Structure 1
Amino acid sequence: MSVNSEQLWAHLCEEAERFGVSEPVLASFYHAHILHHGNFADALSYHLASLLDSDSLPAMLVREVFHNAYISQPAIIEMAVADICAHYERDPACDHYGMPFLYFKGFQAIQAQRIAHYLWIHNRKSLALYLQNRIAAVFDVDIHPGAKLGSGIMLDHATGVVIGETAVVGNNVSMLHSVTLGGCGSGRGPRHPKIGDGVLISTGAKVLGNITIGEGAKIAAGSVVLEDVAPHTTVAGVPATPVGGNSQNIPALEMDQSI
C-alpha cells in the first residue's frame, strides 16, 4: 500500500475540488460523495450506501451498518485503502485515486462484501445474505459473505465474478471479469479454492473445488482449474495444466495475461 488512509483522503479531496471546477455539472456530485465528509470512512459509507439503497433497506440504514462496522473493525478501512492503491498501481486506465472509489464496481463490490463478511462472522447472517443479494443485483458480482478476502485486491471490470462461501483469497490478488471461485461437493466443509498472495486469475477462468493456488501463480484466461497449482507456476487449458513458471515474479502486480 503506497499511501495511508489520511494521505488517500487528501488525494481524494484534491481531485474532487479540481474535477468539480473543470466539470461544473458534476460539482454537486463530488461535493456530496467526497467533499461533504470529514474523512475517508465517512465518505465510503455514504457512497456505498447510496449505491445499495433500496425500498427494503434505505441508504440511511445501510450507512449506519457500514459506519458501525468501520468503528468496530478499523482494519476494514485500511483494506479499502489498499484496494484503491491496487487499482491505481496496476490498472493503466486508472489515473487518479477517485476512479475506483466513485466508478469501479469491482472495488465497490469488494468493500460491500467486507461489511457482509463482518456481519456474517458476528452472527448477523440474515443481513449479510441480504447484502450479498443486493451487491449481486447492483454490481453483477456475487461473493458469499462467508468468503475471506485479503487486502490489495483488484477486480478489474468485475462483471460476472462469483466467489463461494468457503473461498479464501490472499493479499495482492488480481482477478478479471467472469472469474469463478466455485465449489465442489455438497458437504458443509471447505469446498472452494484457497488463493495465495500475488496470484493473477485471468479473464473467464474457473477455479473449482477445495484446491490451493500457490503464491505468485498465474491462471490463464478461460482455464478450468481442478487441481492444486504450485507457487510461481502458470497454468492454462481445460483442464488446466502447467505451461511454465514465473520465477519469483508477482503476476498480480504485473497484470500480464500472456502465457
Structure 2
Amino acid sequence: MTVTQNQQRDPEMQATLWRTLTDQAETLATTSPALGPYIRSSVLQREGFADCLAHVLGSALVHAAPPEVDLAPELLKLYAHNPGVVDAAAEDLVKLDAVNPACPDLLTGLLSFRGFQALQVYRLAHAMWQSGEKQFGALVQNWGALKYAIDIHPGARIGRRVFIDHGIGLVVGETSVIEDDVNIWHGVTLGSTLTESGDRHPKIRRGATICAGATILGNIEVGEFALVAADTVVLKNVPARTVVVGVPGRLAGPVPGRLDAIDEAVKRLATTA
C-alpha cells in the first residue's frame, strides 16, 4: 500500500517548481497589471513554496475561520515540522497541471483550483490529527469544507499525486484510504454502510479513477487502476483494472484504452521526476 504524504522526496523537485511558479507570476504581474498587487503579495513576496502555500490557503479560509484565528502562520509552522506534506503538495500541483487541460498553468492551479486547495487543507488537518491536535485538525478541515464544499475527514489516509477535479460534493470518511495517483471527480462519496464499526470506509488503490457522482460504501477495495463509472453505487470489491457501472455496481470488463491520457501523464511525471 502506498500512502506516503509524509515521506520526504528530492528537494530539487520542489525548488524547480518554485522557480517555475515565480517565473509565471512575474509574467502575469507584467501582462495583467490589475493582478499585480495580488500576485506580488501571494507569490513574489513569499520566501518559498511552503510560505506561498500557507499564505494562499490562509487567505482562502479567512472568511470560513473565526476572525480571531490567524491561520497562515500556523500553517507555515506545520509545513516546517512536516516537510513531506509540502513535497506531497508539490507533486499534487505538478500532476494537476499535467493531466487537467482546463488548468492553464501551475500558477493558476495553485491560486484558484478548489480540488487542489481542498486537498492541501486536508493534508494539513491530517498532520494535526496525527500529531494529537485532533480538535484543531477537525476545525481546520471543517473550515475547508465551508470554503470548498469538499469534506475529507482528517483521519483519512491519502497518498501523493492525487487529482481531485472540480471536487464539489466530495465526501471522504475517516477510515478511507486513497493511494498514490488516484483521480476523483465531483460528487463522490467514500462512506460507510452504517453496519460496520471501526475500519468502515473504502480503500481506493493506486491509480484508480472514481468518476462523478459515484458512491462507494463500506470497508471494500477498489483495485489498482480500476474505474468506477459516473453515478455508480459500489458495495463490493472491484478487481484491478476493471470497470464497474450501475446501481448496484456490476463489473463491465477491463478499463478501456481511451483512458491512457491519464496514464501517459503519470508516466511523463515519473520520467521527469
Closer/same/farther in 2, CA of residues 247 and 203 from structure 1, 3 Å limit: closer
Q: Structure 2 stretches of 5 or more lacking a match?
A: 1-8, 265-273
Secondary structure, aligned partner of 1:4: helix
Secondary structure, aligned partner of 1:158: coil
Stretch moving more, 217-226 or 61-70: 61-70
Closer/same/farther in 2, CA of residues 59 and 140 from structure 1, 3 Å limit: farther
Q: Which amino acid letter does the alignment assign opposite residue 169 of structure 1? A: I
* Structure 1 partner of 2:150: 141
For the 8 Å contact 1:179–1:202, the answer to whether it is kept is yes
Alpha-carbon shift at residue 249 of structure 1 (Å):
9.4
Distance 1:147 1:68 in 2: 22
Alpha-carbon shift at residue 247 of structure 1 (Å):
7.9
Distance 2:75 2:260 in 1: 32
1:23 to 21, 32, 41: 32
CA RMSD of aligned residues (A): 2.3
**How is 1:173-212 mapped onto 2 (pairs within 5 angstroms)?**
173-185=182-194, 187-212=196-221
Alpha-carbon shift at residue 29 of structure 1 (Å):
0.8
* Structure 1 partner of 2:171: 162
Per-residue CA shift, 1:137-175, capped at 9, x if unaligned?
A: 000101111011111011101111110100000001111
Per-residue CA shift, 1:72-106, capped at 9, x if unaligned?
A: 11110110011111111111111311121001011
Q: Structure 1 stretches of 5 or more lacking a match?
A: none
Closer/same/farther in 2, CA of residues 71 and 185 from structure 1, 3 Å limit: same
Alpha-carbon shift at residue 69 of structure 1 (Å):
1.5
Alpha-carbon shift at residue 250 of structure 1 (Å):
7.3
Secondary structure, aligned partner of 2:164: strand
For the 8 Å contact 1:42–1:67, the answer to whether it is kept is yes
Alpha-carbon shift at residue 252 of structure 1 (Å):
8.5
* Structure 1 partner of 2:269: none
For the 8 Å contact 2:245–2:252, the answer to whether it is kept is yes
Distance 2:252 2:261 in 1: 18
**How is 1:62-81 mapped onto 2 (pairs within 5 angstroms)?**
62-81=71-90
Alpha-carbon shift at residue 219 of structure 1 (Å):
0.5
Alpha-carbon shift at residue 58 of structure 1 (Å):
4.5
Q: Which amino acid letter does the alignment assign opposite residue 133 of structure 2? A: R
**How is 1:82-161 mapped onto 2 (pairs within 5 angstroms)?**
82-161=91-170
Distance 1:224 1:117 in 2: 27
Alpha-carbon shift at residue 188 of structure 1 (Å):
3.9
**How is 1:37-56 mapped onto 2 (pairs within 5 angstroms)?**
37-54=46-63
For the 8 Å contact 2:24–2:107, the answer to whether it is kept is yes
Q: Which amino acid letter does the alignment assign opposite residue 190 of structure 2? A: L
Structure with larger RCO (C-alpha < 8 A, sep 6+):
2
For the 8 Å contact 1:156–1:176, the answer to whether it is kept is yes
* Structure 2 partner of 1:36: 45
Q: TM-score, normalised by structure 1?
A: 0.92
For the 8 Å contact 2:196–2:218, the answer to whether it is kept is no
Distance 1:233 1:210 in 2: 19
Alpha-carbon shift at residue 210 of structure 1 (Å):
0.5
Distance 1:59 1:82 in 2: 32
Distance 1:97 1:40 in 2: 12
Distance 1:186 1:131 in 2: 29
Distance 1:187 1:94 in 2: 40
Alpha-carbon shift at residue 253 of structure 1 (Å):
2.0
Alpha-carbon shift at residue 53 of structure 1 (Å):
1.6
Closer/same/farther in 2, CA of residues 247 and 91 from structure 1, 3 Å limit: closer
Identity of aligned residues (%): 35
